Amino acid sequence: MEYYAGAYDIAVIGAGHAGIEASLSAARLGCSVAVFTINLDAVGNMPCNPSIGGTGKGHLVREIDALGGEMGKAADKTFIQSRMLNLGKGPAVHSLRIQSDRRAYHQLMKHTLESQSGLDLRQGEIVEIRAKDGRVSQVVTRLGAVFDVKAIVIATGTYLSGRIHIGEVNYEGGPDGMFAAKSLSESLRALGLDLMRFKTGTPSRVNKNSIDFSQLEGQPGDGRIIPFSFETEDPGVNRAVCHIAYTNAETHRIIKENLHRSPLYGGRIEGIGPRYCPSIEDKVVRFADKERHQFFIEPMGIDTDEMYLQGLSSSLPEEVQLKFLHTIKGFENLKVMRTAYAIEYDCINPLELEPTLETKKIAGLYGAGQFNGSSGYEEAAAQGLVAGINAALKIKGQQPMILDRAGSYIGTLIDDLVTKGTKEPYRMMTSRSEYRLVLRQDNADERLTPTGYKIGLITGKRYERFLEKERLIKEEKSRVERTSIAPSQVLCDLLVLKGTAPIKTGVKMSELLKRPQISYEDLAPFDGQRIPLPYAVTEQVEISIKYEGYIKREKAQINEMRRLETRALPKDIDYKDIRGLRIEAREKLNKIRPINIGQASRISGVNPADIAVLIIYLEQNK
């Protein structure tokens, strides 16, 4: 029996990384929010690796923080190891990654939701979404509670019609032994939404005491800890060491001999898996010439002996997994605590979404995270933040927040999903962006904090600190460009040691900084006017001077892109009526309904000639 249980402005379905950001942002913007989760012990859960950040993903976390989100702060408070990746390359691809204490992260995020004013955290499965006149109206729980709502954010992760696969064994279920959410899939299909079937996998979790670490390579954290959040003043210290191990010929032989028992190769898995995060059996098949594959042994937390085998996911039968694991050096006596598995789940075709992450068919219905066809905690949190903000802004009668791909990786992520769609779980990488020298993780606050302040998620106090930092950067850059350094034997010896030419006359500091081999710190002994400044300030000064020419060129490309973004396309336009458009372009444009010329130009199947036709059409129909 159903009963009326009350009303909220917004219902968020799921309390993973997407649901957390969606609910907190909406509540902080003044909406009444209910967050529904199948199990309160799964709030902020990390069913795969308990790490945050990594290549491209670290950029997303910094951007979430710059807009006023929560993930970066929680990562800083719960990390046990921190490393900056790709330091041997340029700053565009430097990416922060931390290993988090899984339980500490869950507890912190759960308490953050519980403590947030205007937010109710509830254990309950949503089985039905109701709409009236093309707009969401109610959600219904399995126990029959009916809530009136003005907007809904679906952040169901891998729970939606989830099915676990381990060899020949398969059953309905969510991650970590939770229930699957089957009825909601049926409700979404009844609303006319186009759902897809994806799959992902997770490796075994093993007992630390059964590993011979003397046979493995150690991987310590960084000496200098760089926090994710621009608000974190004391970043803490590393408390754990990760390790590297390798498969071998015997490992590969066992896997190959049992491929017929893999649900992936036996045809029992229908869903499409992530190309950039393949299972070990997939690696052995696709990279048959490789003698070994590297993977990482990473702790699940400080107060547990459970370890995670990053890069060794599998859906082979349990006994086969044990057999190939024991062939690995240092794993001869390994004890498995949780068997690796693959999980299939339903998600929406992201072409059904607007750039605000609202569905095109049902007003007030938003999607976020793996429900939108992406993978990863960071991608989920970024979309949850955008969906929560836009749901709240719509209820308040304000203009939506649409981030373009020239201003953020979040904008790139969403634009890729809603414009190009995806045929596999989408993963953020720095190569996804055309503007990665401008969209660095170190300048995320410069790019997005003004937006977060305008929306209302960045406090006035934090914004004042941001403006002070920008002032210091501007003044120090100007000083470095004015200051000359006289030649000396010590300086020339340093330049030669660094592999660059000595100087014979006085040279501006900025000219020396433009040399790839020379850093801001290298010049400190020769800079008599230098004053102590935070690393975050000097880092910006050095990057802006060293890459000035490249940055100017990229910003010119951004200006051209944004010129196309300002050419709006009417919502009621029927592309079948536009002469000169190719048939494929008409079909794609009518299906995706781009909001401007820029977005139209990125649709697969729409070529430059079609764009020229659209521009002429707009000129003729002003």
**Same-domain pairing of 95 and 244:** no
Asked if residue 571 has pLDDT above 90, the reply is no
Alpha carbon of 20 to those of 155, 173, 248, 383, 427: distances in Å?
9, 22, 41, 11, 20
Domain boundary among 518, 553, 588: 553
3-state secondary structure of 33: strand
Q: Which two tokens stand for residue 419?
A: 């414009």
Is 446 domain-assigned? Answer: yes
As given in the structure block, the two tokens for residue 58 are 């670290």
Let me know if residue 594 belongs to a domain: yes
d(CA 611, CA 614): 5
End residue of a domain, out of 343, 374, 389: 343
Residues 339, 373, single domain; the answer is: no
Q: What is the pLDDT of residues 604-613, one digit of tens each?
A: 889 989 999 9
Are 238 and 325 within one domain?
yes
Mean pLDDT score, 442-447: 98
Return the closest-CA partner of residue 561 out of 422, 425, 428, 434: 434
- Name the burial class of residue 380, with classes exposed (0-12), middle (13-18) and buried (19+) by CB atoms within 10 angstroms of its CB: buried
Count of Cβ atoms closer than 10 Å to residue 611 Cβ: 19
Domain-embedded: residue 157: yes
Asked whether residue 267 carries a pLDDT value surpassing 80, the answer given is: no
DSSP letters of 36-102? Answer: EES-GGGTT--SS-SEEE-TTHHHHHHHHHHHT-SHHHHHHHHEEEEEEETTTS-GGG-EEEEEE-H
618 Cβ neighbours under 8 A, 6+ residues apart: 567, 569, 597
Report whether pLDDT(265) > 90. no
Better pLDDT: 219 or 270? 219
Does pTM surpass 0.85? yes
State yes or no: pLDDT of 475 exceeds 80.
yes
Whether residue 460 lies inside any domain: the answer is: no
And the tokens for 195? 């759902």
Average of per-residue pLDDT across 346-370: 98
User: Looking at the predicted structure, is the pLDDT value of residue 276 above 90?
Assistant: no
Q: Are residues 10 and 96 in the same domain?
A: yes
Is 11 inside any structural domain? yes
What's the domain count of the chain? 4
Interatomic CA distance for residues 275 and 520, integer angstroms:
40
Among the ranges given (339-353, 358-372, 456-470, 583-597), the one the predictor scored with the smallest mean pLDDT: 583-597
* Structure confidence at residue 566 (pLDDT): 87
**26 and 9 in contact (C-beta within 8 Å)?**
yes
| φ and ψ at residue 328, rounded to 5 degrees | -85, 135
- What is the overall mean pLDDT for the chain? 95
Is the domain of 158 the same as that of 17? yes
Question: Residue 271 pLDDT > 80, yes or no?
Answer: no
Q: Measure the CA angle with vertex 614, ends 609 and 619; round to 5°.
A: 125
559, part of any domain: no
pLDDT category of residue 278 using cuts at 50, 70 and 90: confident
Host domain of residue 263: 205-343
pLDDT per position as a tens digit, 40-76: 999 999 999 999 999 999 999 999 999 999 999 999 9
Using an 8 Å Cβ cutoff, are 205 and 102 in contact? no
The tokens for 465 are 């600190």
What's the pLDDT score for residue 358?
98
In a shared domain, residues 380 and 520: no
Backbone torsions φ then ψ of 598, nearest 5 degrees: -60, -50
pLDDT at 240: 97
Find the CATH number of the domain harbouring 614: 1.10.150.570
Among 21, 43, 7, which Cα is nearest to 153's?
21
Residue with tokens 């995706």, as numbered in its chain: 592
Asked if residue 324 and residue 243 are part of one domain, the reply reads yes
pLDDT at 351 over 90: yes
- What is the arithmetic mean of pLDDT over 318-330? 98
Lowest mean per-residue pLDDT among 130-134, 193-197, 365-369, 577-581:
577-581
Q: pLDDT confidence of 229, banded at 50, 70, 90?
A: very high
CATH number at residue 504: 1.10.10.1800
> Residue 10: how many CB atoms within 10 A of its CB?
30
For residues 179 and 236, membership in a common domain is answered with no
Rounded to a whole number of angstroms, the CA Rg of the chain reads 26
Residues 297 and 363 in one domain: no
Percent of residues, the chain, with pLDDT higher than 90: 93
pLDDT tens-digit series, residues 100-124 = 999 999 999 999 999 999 999 999 9
Of 166-175, 204-213, 265-274, the least confident: 265-274
For residue 441, report the phi and psi dihedrals to the nearest 5 degrees. -70, -30
> Is the pLDDT reported for residue 333 higher than 80?
yes
Tokens coding 435? 């503007």
297 membership: H or E segment, kind and range? strand 294-299
Here the tokens at position 70 are: 């929560």
Residues 231, 252, single domain; the answer is: yes
Where would I find the beta strands (DSSP E) of 181-320?
195-202, 205-207, 217-219, 242-246, 294-299, 306-310
Backbone angles phi, psi at 64, to 5 degrees: -55, -45
Q: Residue 232 domain-assigned? A: yes
Pull the structure tokens for residue 436.
């990665």
- Is pLDDT at 311 greater than 90 in this prediction? yes
Query: Taking 90 as the threshold, does the pLDDT of residue 268 lie above it?
Result: no
Query: What is the model's pLDDT at position 266?
Result: 74
Domain membership flag for residue 231: yes
- In a shared domain, residues 316 and 263: yes
Burial label for 55, CB within 10 Å (0-12, 13-18, 19+), is middle
Question: Mind listing the pLDDT tens digit for each residue in 418-440?
Answer: 999 999 999 999 999 999 999 99
Which pLDDT belongs to residue 534?
A: 95
CA neighbor of 14 nearest in space, from 344, 381, 428, 341: 381
Q: In this structure, are 156 and 274 located in the same domain?
A: no
Does 622 have pLDDT greater than 90? Answer: no
Domain boundary among 343, 362, 384: 343
Is residue 5 pLDDT above 80, yes or no?
Answer: yes
Q: What percent of the chain has pLDDT over 70?
A: 100
Residue 15 is part of a domain; what is its CATH number?
A: 3.50.50.60
